[in-house]
Amino acid sequence: MTLFLCGILALILGYFTYGRWIEHLLGPDDRPTPAIAGADGVDTLPLPKWKNLLIQLLNIAGVGPVIGVIIGIKFGIKCFWIIPLGCILGGAVHDYISGFISLRNHGINLPELTRRSLGELYHKIYVLFVIILLLLVVAVFVNIPSQLIVSTLPQTLPDTPAFWIAAVIILAYYIASTIFPVDRIIGKIYPLFGALLLIGTLAMFIALCINGFQEPHLLTETEAFLAGMFTDQPVIPCLFVTIACGIISGFHATQSPIVARTMRHERESRCTYYGMMITEGVIAMIWAAAGLAIYNTFPELMSDKPAKALSVATEHFLGGNIGLLTIFSVIILAITSGDTALRSLRLTLAEYVKVPQRSLKSRIFVCLPLLGCIGLLLWWSNQDATSFEWLWKYFAWGNQILAASTLMACTVWLKRHGKTPWVTLLPGAFMTFIVFSFILWSDVSHPGCPYGFNLPLSLAYPIAGCVTLICCALVWRLGNQKTQDC
């Protein structure tokens, strides 16, 4: 319990200390933002600060800080200090600086930021990678909430008509929120969704505090928990791939331009970007604790799907009505990331093929081929349980490739503008090491891992280290090149 509460306190203190120092480094001023200087009435228009906060939080807080940490807590209570440390020094910095660069550059999307910082060759490969990853994100964030909805109904199998009815309804909402102006749907319903999310998470926090003080063993590594922990997966790199969103997530950088186009003042950026990632870190801590508590109560759940542990935890600690509300808040997390993931996908593709998005016809034109791809991914991912596991595994790993690339692009930007580059280079180097060591070590022979090169860690680590050093040297060299971009 002490480590859990200290971790949450550290996150809060990190916002007021390190977050303020990053703000001083960036130097927000009174120059016109994209919403003021280039409003188009669709994607770029001013919204109140409180709406932007909720939109950013719900954009980035998908199922990662819930499902991901329920899986990740199986690495042990070390998660209670790794999550705050990674969030303060890595994830929140990643979100803040990438969002601020977009804010300073007319709301540019992540691939364009990468082109200006890392060059045309990397950009051509990277934009395809981003589009594929966002397609995976949308498919995942249709699949998971549909399964959670069906789990609350009498008919619970994922291949029932109820699943597909839920999936079609969710996808229809995604389409509407993607093609209509940002203030028409997202700006109106997100305050309600945000309130439900905060109520559900607060309810779980209170329940954990009450039960944790009454039964201190719930938030410790009991013998039963130790028996089911991950022992065949190395903490580095597997933990940082599993708990993607609670520590750092490249997906967030694809979402930040949405709010960069609706922000009234640059000085709102620390609260909007750094602050909302810290909030997501708090959410991740609460659900990691919920996972630990429910695994200590029902150790057999450690071998079951994380969605099952989530469902049992909410019912056990919160009861029927509040538990159902909390499940609904998790469904909201997925849906409110999926809708803006599709919106970001439309904007990224339109920016790449240079199709203006002012007219409804143009927005529909860009969306149609994307919907076909999403439909195929959704159909394939529900052929059996293994198919969805593959979808999730590659999404998580690809997500961290985005994080490493974004941090390196931010390093180039900082160096070119005479600002301290180490704040992004160090976490960027760490995440580069993570993604390379993971794919070098990974193989289907390791439980819960995708195809990789199946090298022993004694080889994977030094090779990943050498690749990381080469990448850092290239990034440093690019930072010394002065250009007119960004």
Look at the block and give the residue holding tokens 């009450």: 210
Q: Tell me, what's the pLDDT at 390? A: 63
Q: What is the pLDDT of residue 7?
A: 95
Q: What is the mean pLDDT of residues 408-416?
A: 93
pLDDT more than 90, % of the chain: 32
Q: How is residue 403 written in tokens?
A: 């994080």
Q: How far is CA 393 from CA 40, 144, 289, 357, in A?
A: 38, 14, 23, 33
Half-sphere exposure of 195 (CA within 13 A, CB side): 5
pLDDT above 90 for 440:
yes
pLDDT of 187 > 80? The answer is no
Give the number of other CB atoms < 10 A from CB of residue 242.
26
Q: What is residue 153's predicted lDDT score, i.e. its pLDDT?
A: 65
Which has the closest alpha carbon to 186: 85, 261, 86? 261
Phi, psi of 453 (to 5 degrees): -95, -10
From residue 420, give the alpha-carbon distance in Å to each of 97, 110, 212: 12, 21, 42
With bands split at pLDDT 50, 70 and 90, how would you rate the model's confidence at 23?
very high
Instruction: Quick: pLDDT tens for 283-330.
Output: 999 999 999 999 999 988 888 777 778 878 888 888 766 767 777 777
* 424 pLDDT above the threshold of 90: yes
pLDDT attached to residue 467: 96
CA dihedral sign of residues 107, 409, 398, 151: negative
Cα 61–chain centre separation: 6
Is the model more confident about 275 or about 340? 275
pLDDT digits (tens, 9 = 90+) for 59-96: 787 666 777 888 889 899 999 999 999 999 999 999 99
**Residue 106: which region, alpha, beta or left (left: phi > 0; alpha: psi -120 to 50)?**
left
How would residue 475 be classed by pLDDT, with cut points 50, 70 and 90? Answer: very high
Average pLDDT, the chain: 83
Taken in order of first residue, the domains within the chain and their CATH numbers are 2-479 (1.20.1740.10)
**Helix (H/G/I), strand (E/B), else coil: 121:** helix
Query: Would you place residue 458 in the very low, low, confident or very high pLDDT band (cuts 50, 70, 90)?
Result: very high
The least confident of 119-133, 198-212, 386-400 is 386-400
Neighbours of 111 (CB within 10 A): 24
pLDDT above 70 for 177: yes
- Residue 205 near residue 286 (C-beta atoms within 8 A): yes
The pLDDT of residue 445: 80
pLDDT in tens, 376-404: 877 776 665 555 556 666 777 888 888 99
Q: Tokens for 218? A: 């719930």
pLDDT band at 98 (very low <50, low <70, confident <90, very high): very high
DSSP character for 160? Answer: S
Q: Check: CB of residue 251 under 8 Å from CB of residue 137.
A: yes
**The two structure tokens encoding residue 434:** 């993570």
- Cα end-to-end span (Å), the chain: 46
Give the angle 34-35-36 at the CA atoms, nearest 5°: 90
Task: Count each helix (H run) and each strand (E run) in the chain, helices first.
Answer: 23, 0
* pLDDT of residue 21 exceeding 70: yes
φ/ψ (deg, to 5) at 458: -65, -20
pLDDT at 160: 60
Minimum mean pLDDT range among 102-106, 179-183, 202-206? 179-183
Tell me, what amino acid is at 74? Answer: K
**Lookup: tokens for 315:** 């019912």
Helix intervals (H) in 417-482: 422-441, 457-479
pLDDT number for residue 62: 67
Mean pLDDT, range 182-190, rounded to an integer: 67
* CB contact set of 100 (below 8 Å; sequence gap of 6+): 26, 28, 266, 269, 273
User: For the whole prediction, is pTM greater than 0.75?
Assistant: yes
Q: Where are the alpha helices (DSSP H) in 267-416?
A: 269, 276-297, 306-318, 320-353, 360-381, 385-416
Longest dimension (CA), the chain: 62
**Cis status of the peptide bond prior to 257, with omega within 30 of 0:** no
Residue environment code for 413-444, b if the CB has 16+ CB neighbours within 10 A, otherwise e: bbbbeeeebebbbbbbbbbbbbbbbbbbbbee
**Cα dihedral value 150, 156, 162, 163, nearest 10:** 70
Tokens of 431: 């995440």
Rounded to an integer, what distance in angstroms lies between the CA atom of residue 146 and that of residue 155?
13
Inter-residue contact 127 to 348 (CB < 8 Å):
yes
In this model, does residue 150 exceed pLDDT 80? no
Task: Output the pLDDT for position 421.
Answer: 94
Question: What share of the chain has pLDDT > 70, as a percent?
Answer: 91
Q: Give the Cα separation of 223 and 268 in Å (integer).
A: 47
Give the integer Cα–Cα distance in Å for 28 and 3: 35
Q: Contacts by 220-223 with C-beta closer than 8 Å and gap 24+? A: 220/77, 220/296, 221/76, 221/77, 222/296
- DSSP 8-state assignment for residue 360: H
